[in-house]
Amino acid sequence: MKLFYTLIFSLAIAGIHAQIDQHQPGNIQTLPANTGPAQLQPEPKVTNPNAPKIQFKTTEFEFGTIPEGPQAKHEFEFTNTGKEPLTVTSCQASCGCTVPQCPRDPILPGQTGKITAIYNTQGRVGPFNKSITIMSNSEGMPVIVYIKGVVKETPPEQTMPINDNGNMMLGN
């Protein structure tokens, strides 16, 4: 058993010694001549001149002041200005109160498509600023569109008093 521990100890010392030797002034390793800084940088990305390109008419919509309760809805229109079909791969809202609807079919070159943003105003009184992140096979992804506005509290409905017979009481 002593022999086993001695062997392990010797190997550990030899490994440490090898590491120390590499860092001594006389042991500087040089890179081959053809591996200068230009060789270590990534190659530039080649762009496809025919690639689909998503071009939105606008990327922000202001609802202004809207009542609490109904859903607020806006459609962001875009055009494929590229030369190949555009496929929207995902649309994701910044929170659960906003639901995006994206086209499932490819948008051909020159054609238009719509991303619909539906904001649930119920119980969300006050200002809001929500985003939808869109991914597609277009260059320059992702694209982010925004909806914003202010939800105004809906006053409670005025109710008329009801008598014991279930009829509204109108005046005296």
Determine the pLDDT at residue 29: 53
Domains and CATH numbers, the chain: 54-152 (2.60.40.10)
Determine the pLDDT at residue 170: 46
Report the amino acid identity of residue 141: M
Per DSSP, what are the bridge partners of residue 162? 168
In whole angstroms, how far apart are CA 130 and each of 49, 61, 62, 137?
Answer: 33, 10, 11, 24
Determine the pLDDT at residue 140: 86
Q: What percent of the chain has pLDDT over 70?
A: 63
For the chain, the C-alpha Rg in angstroms (whole number) is 33
